[in-house]
Amino acid sequence: MNIQQIIANKRDKKILSQEEIEYFVNEYVKGNITDYQAAALVMAIYLNGMTEGETTMLTLAMARSGETLDLSTLNKTVVDKHSTGGVGDKITIVLMPIIASLGIPVAKMSGRGLGFTGGTIDKLESIPGYNIEIPINNFIEIVKKTGISVIGQTANLAPADKKLYALRDTIACVDSMPLIASSIMSKKIAAGAEKIVLDVTVGSGAFMKDKESAVEISKLMKKIGTLANKETVCVLTNMDEPVGKAVGNTLEILETIECLKGNIPNDIKEIILGIGSYIIKLAGEGDNLEENKKRILENIYNGKAYDKFIELITSQGGDISYIENPDKFEKAKYILPVVANKSGYIAEINAKDVGETSVDLGAGRVKKEDGIDHAVGIILEKKIADEVKEGEILAYVHANNEEKGEKAVKRLQEIYIIVEQKIEPEKYILDII
Ligand code: URA
């Protein structure tokens, strides 16, 4: 077996065998296949695709490329949640403390930003002291004690995905169905939860631009889940505009704190109710989805979810004085308004463009070794269907560099599409697969 032949086979649109896929995954993790050889194969997969069978074999090989977690000592059904990625997507950070406050254990490994999308781990790290690198034994102990832990993907969990994920980001190969499905499902299979709820985002700020491709990848991931004996539900959510008002790391943590205090924008509310009600159902804690939604809202408004969030931050070394007094968070130097140049209704706020604008401000990485600026980002004061008057503020840019800030203001003025006719409010839950 040699890698040149495997690359040539995929280049020539052949179906790879199990041996070829396993050889590639195992030898790449060992360092016996170079990044440029892996990049060539990944690009061939991107261009020529994979059959369902190949994608399943790739997923299982990646899941077995490192350690797999055993969460059975928690003695309760653990339901994992993962998003296919988006802009302003702070759903995990808002929802998981709510789920834990209902007595359902949360043992969650999250990722960093990828392309124009943000990452939960980058957001959590904007809380001073929050430690995302906790040894697995301690991670399980924390879940036993407090009911919740959210950490980064350990080096040894699906290491093939860790390497491929970072590589894909640098060679424009993120938005590929077999690569996204195998990336997500390999991590979920290795992370040990018995059941999985996937937030499959659809729209301009998602990797799946239309509902058809979201349904297709959902069916594929469900099939892989069934083969791995993990019941999987996919909730299709709207990512045509960013989720909530905040885009950027600290700004999204500030919005999370507000949500957990009960001040939740409609889109975030609808999405956490849609996804959360299925997590509760799969955990075996309630078959009635409407009742589950009521329990979610109850624990937000009675403060239990906020208290659980404080417990999560405390147990992972975060300084809760920042959560209790959000004014302590470091602010960007320049806070620049984006002003509407005409009156009307907001018809479009392309989420990918907003995500790229935020990355340009420094909130995300261009190269995988880049640092990020936690303070910068965008606050969207107006969302799709809102009415706006000329001269009103559409958004604020938070920048640490004046020139970059002004460029972002100009770009946002173009991103906001204002029309004369009234616009129907968006739906945020599009389907359940
Ligand atoms: N999230 C992942 O974990 N992997 C992808 O490839 C895309 C989104």
Q: What is the CATH number of the domain that holds 41?
A: 1.20.970.10
Are 196 and 78 part of one and the same domain? yes
Q: What CATH number should be reported for the domain holding residue 409? A: 3.90.1170.30
> What is the model's pTM?
0.95
Are 301 and 339 part of one and the same domain? no
CA distances from 71 to 2, 84, 224, 237 (A): 37, 23, 20, 28
Whether ligand 1 lies within 6 angstroms of the CB of 134 is answered as no
Q: pLDDT value at position 368?
A: 67
pLDDT tens, position by position, 384-424: 999 999 999 999 999 999 999 999 999 999 999 999 999 99
Q: Candidates 58, 174, 175, 234: which one to mutate for ligand 1, based on the most atoms within 8 Å of Cβ?
A: 174
Q: Candidates 87, 183, 196, 221: which one to mutate for ligand 1, based on the most atoms within 8 Å of Cβ?
A: 183
**431 within a domain of the structure (yes/no):** no
- Rounded to 10 degrees, the C-alpha dihedral 87/93/95/100 comes to 160
Looking at the 3D structure of the chain, how many domains does it have?
Answer: 3
Give the residue from 324, 341, 373 where a domain finishes.
Answer: 324
Catalytic residues: 82, 161, 168, 183, 187
**81 within a domain of the structure (yes/no):** yes
Q: Give the Cα separation of 329 and 250 in Å (integer).
A: 8
Q: pLDDT value at position 370?
A: 81
Whether ligand 1 lies within 6 angstroms of the CB of 110 is answered as no
**366 within a domain of the structure (yes/no):** yes
Are 147 and 278 part of one and the same domain? yes
CA distances from 77 to 62, 152, 197, 285, 291 (A): 24, 21, 13, 10, 19
C-beta atoms surrounding 35 within 10 Å: 15
- Residue-number span of the structural domain to which 20 is assigned: 3-49
Q: Give the Cα separation of 134 and 364 in Å (integer).
A: 23
Whether ligand 1 lies within 6 angstroms of the CB of 164 is answered as no
Instruction: Give the closest residue (by CA) to ligand 1 atom 1.
Output: 84
Distance 253 CA to ligand 1 centre (A): 21
Residue numbers of the chain with a pLDDT score lower than 50: none
Atom of ligand 1 nearest to the CA of 207: 7
Atom of ligand 1 nearest to the CA of 117: 8
Q: pLDDT value at position 222?
A: 97
Are 185 and 293 part of one and the same domain? yes
Distance 115 CA to ligand 1 centre (A): 10
Whether ligand 1 lies within 6 angstroms of the CB of 111 is answered as yes
Whether ligand 1 lies within 6 angstroms of the CB of 184 is answered as yes
Are 313 and 366 part of one and the same domain? no
Dihedral class, residue 425 (left if φ above 0, else alpha if ψ from -120 to 50, else beta): beta
Are 85 and 233 part of one and the same domain? yes
Are 320 and 387 part of one and the same domain? no
Instruction: Give the closest residue (by CA) to ligand 1 atom 3.
Output: 184
Are 130 and 215 part of one and the same domain? yes
Q: Which two tokens stand for residue 93?
A: 């950070």
Which residues 6+ apart lie within 8 Å of 364 measured at CB? 113, 116, 117, 118, 122, 355, 358, 372
Whether ligand 1 lies within 6 angstroms of the CB of 183 is answered as yes
Q: pLDDT value at position 118?
A: 84
Atom of ligand 1 nearest to the CA of 168: 6
191 DSSP β-pair partners = none
Are 247 and 157 part of one and the same domain? yes
Are 16 and 38 part of one and the same domain? yes
Distance 341 CA to ligand 1 centre (A): 37
Are 174 and 146 part of one and the same domain? yes
Range 268-303 burial, b when 16+ CB lie within 10 A, else e: bbbbbbbbbbbbbbbbebbeebeebbebbbebbeee
Instruction: Give the closest residue (by CA) to ligand 1 atom 2.
Output: 184
Whether ligand 1 lies within 6 angstroms of the CB of 85 is answered as yes
Query: Which residue reads 């005409």 in tokens?
Result: 342
Q: Which two tokens stand for residue 286?
A: 């309630």
Which pairing describes strands 377-380 and 231-238: parallel, antiparallel, or unpaired?
Answer: unpaired
Range 313-330 burial, b when 16+ CB lie within 10 A, else e: bebbebeeebbeeeeebe
**236 within a domain of the structure (yes/no):** yes
Q: Give the Cα separation of 89 and 178 in Å (integer).
A: 23
Q: Give the Cα separation of 308 and 318 in Å (integer).
A: 13
Q: pLDDT value at position 367?
A: 72
Q: pLDDT value at position 78?
A: 94
Q: pLDDT value at position 365?
A: 81
